[in-house]
């Protein structure tokens, strides 16, 4: 798996419920207390709360799970993992759901995957997100020439307020260390 992939290809051949087996094991001790939902800073934007999502994983409701975008809204802050009274690896489980979704449902999750890939590419290149470069890469991956029009007025408004710059940030000190981390992760993922 490289920086541009969030896909574990061996899962491609798995049946829907087989793909969830490992994740179900990770969260099998869930007692539905709701602490994960109460801790999640992104819960307000999710279509399923984390607690609800884990319940559906336990019930094997693959069809409904992979209509949801909840796991793609997980920003891996680890609050839920730290606070879960059962000590469950919830952030890892969210990431595993992202991988299955990207792998098995590329059309349905095209926008989420393109967003993620563009974000990572921008961080790797600049040491932080360069908003204009990030969104241009996202548009490119989406391949819809009309998409930029949808956000044009917002982009202009932000530019007028000095919130967006066309110029990429200067490479910061330590960018080589960041690149070394990316390479290390890539080599670890290649061994999976």
Cα(140)–Cα(126) distance, integer angstroms: 19
Number of residues located near ligand SF4, criterion CB under 6 A: 28
Cα(182)–Cα(116) distance, integer angstroms: 15
| Least separation in angstroms between CB 134 and ligand SF4 | 20
Nearest C-alpha neighbor of 41 from the set 65, 75, 72: 75
| Least separation in angstroms between CB 162 and ligand SF4 | 29
The site string for ligand SF4 over 29-68 (x = CB under 6 A, - otherwise) reads -xxxxxxx--xx-x-------xx--x--------------
Window 76 to 95, contacts with ligand SF4 (CB under 6 A): 76-80, 84-86, 88, 90-91, 94
Asked if residue 147 lies in contact with residue 115, where contact means CB atoms within 8 angstroms, the answer is no
| Least separation in angstroms between CB 143 and ligand SF4 | 29
- Considering only 24-32, 117-125, 145-153, 166-174, which stretch makes contact with ligand SF4 by CB under 6 A? 24-32
Tell me phi and psi for residue 178, to 5 degrees: -65, -45
| Neighbouring C-beta atoms of residue 14, cutoff 10 Å | 15
| Least separation in angstroms between CB 190 and ligand SF4 | 25
Q: Is 74 in the site for ligand SF4 (CB under 6 A)?
A: yes
| Least separation in angstroms between CB 25 and ligand SF4 | 13
Percentage helix, strand, coil for the chain under 3-state DSSP, each rounded to 5: 60, 0, 40
Show the tokens assigned to 69: 């975008």
Nearer to ligand SF4, 19 or 48 (CB): 48
Nearer to ligand SF4, 27 or 120 (CB): 27
Nearer to ligand SF4, 37 or 62 (CB): 37
Cα(190)–Cα(184) distance, integer angstroms: 10
- Out of 9, 17, 28, 75, the residue judged to bind ligand SF4 by CB under 6 A: 75
Cα(11)–Cα(111) distance, integer angstroms: 21
Asked if residue 83 lies in contact with residue 36, where contact means CB atoms within 8 angstroms, the answer is yes
Interface with ligand SF4 (CB under 6 A): 27, 30-36, 39-40, 42, 50-51, 54, 74-80, 84-86, 88, 90-91, 94
């Amino acid at each position: 798996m490289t920086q541009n992939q969030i896909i574990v290809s061996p899962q491609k051949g798995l049946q829907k419920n087989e793909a969830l087996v490992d994740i179900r094991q990770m969260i099998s001790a869930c007692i539905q207390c709701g602490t994960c939902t109460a801790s999640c800073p992104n819960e307000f934007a999710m279509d399923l709360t984390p607690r609800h999502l884990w319940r559906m994983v336990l019930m094997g409701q693959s069809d409904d799970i992979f209509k949801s975008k909840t796991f793609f809204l997980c920003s891996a802050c680890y609050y839920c993992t730290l606070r879960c009274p059962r000590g469950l690896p919830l952030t890892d489980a969210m990431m595993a759901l992202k991988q299955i979704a990207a792998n098995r449902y590329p059309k349905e999750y095209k926008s989420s995957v393109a967003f993620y890939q563009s974000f990572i590419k921008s961080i790797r290149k600049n040491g932080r997100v360069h908003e204009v470069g990030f969104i241009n890469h996202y548009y490119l991956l989406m391949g819809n020439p009309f998409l930029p029009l949808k956000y044009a007025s917002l982009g202009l408004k932000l530019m007028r307020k000095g919130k967006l710059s066309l110029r990429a940030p200067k490479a910061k000190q330590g960018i080589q260390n960041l690149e070394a981390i990316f390479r290390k992760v890539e080599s670890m993922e290649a061994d999976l």
